[in-house]
Amino acid sequence: MSRGVSIGIDMLFASVITLFALVFAMMSSSIISSSSFNALTRINEQSIAIRVIESLCLSPGIPADWEKNISVTKRLGLALTDGALYVLSKRKVEIFFRNFTMGQISSLLGLPNGTYILKFMLKPIFSTESDILELECDEIEGGFTSSRLVVIDGSLFIFRVYVKKVS
């Protein structure tokens, strides 16, 4: 280092790189954290939607004949007791859409109260609007939708579950 120069070129270079790295890290950290947070929320909604729809379509519930006395229901499931995959009981479906509140459904599906907004829809394929059964507590914007083609009394229906995490 020559006389009169307070810092060497190496140090100057290192300082510039460090400064750039700091600015870059500060700028990118906010972008990365917000996009990661969004991705985690999305994955959470998706996993809940898939868990709920699979649980409803594949399990008869606990007890398996809960439709006879809904007050003893411990876990919801719409499948026939000894049916094939994605074959639902018409009676259970009717009770599910008409007799349960959204709070009861969340609780019977093992979801924490007030954490997720849910919406359920069941419609026959190629049907009119009047045939559609819907159950929702609030209008959902965004969130994730999972669909399954299910069989009820030999007819095909599209069963949809919408899930949105309460922010």
Residue 94 CB, nearest approach to other proteins (Å): 21
**Cα separation of 136 and 145, whole Å?**
13
Residue 137 tokens read as 């507590």
Give residues with Cβ within 8 angstroms of 41, minimum separation 6.
165, 167
Question: Cβ of residue 141: shortest distance to other proteins, in angstroms?
Answer: 13
Binding of other proteins at residue 82 (CB under 8 A)? no
Contact 120, 160 (CB under 8 A): yes
3-state secondary structure of 155: strand
Q: Which of 19, 22, 23, 32 binds other proteins (CB under 8 A)?
A: 32
3-state secondary structure of 150: strand
Nearer to other proteins, 28 or 115 (CB): 28
Cis link prior to 63 (omega < 30° from 0)? Answer: yes
Two structure tokens written together for 124: 């026959």
Do residues 122 and 157 make contact, with C-beta atoms less than 8 angstroms apart?
A: yes
For the window 94-133, what string marks contact with other proteins as x by the rule CB under 8 A?
A: -------------------------------xx-------
When asked if residue 150 is in the footprint of other proteins (CB under 8 A), the reply is yes
Question: Minimum CB separation from other proteins for residue 134, in Å?
Answer: 15
Which one of 7, 14, 19, 72 is in contact with other proteins (CB under 8 A)? 14
The rounded distance, in Å, linking the Cα atoms of 100 and 156 is: 23
19 binds other proteins (CB under 8 A): no
Q: Is 73 in the site for other proteins (CB under 8 A)?
A: no
Q: Return residues touching other proteins (CB under 8 A).
A: 9-10, 13-14, 17, 21, 24, 28, 32, 35, 39, 42-43, 46-47, 49-50, 84-86, 125-126, 144-151, 154-156, 158
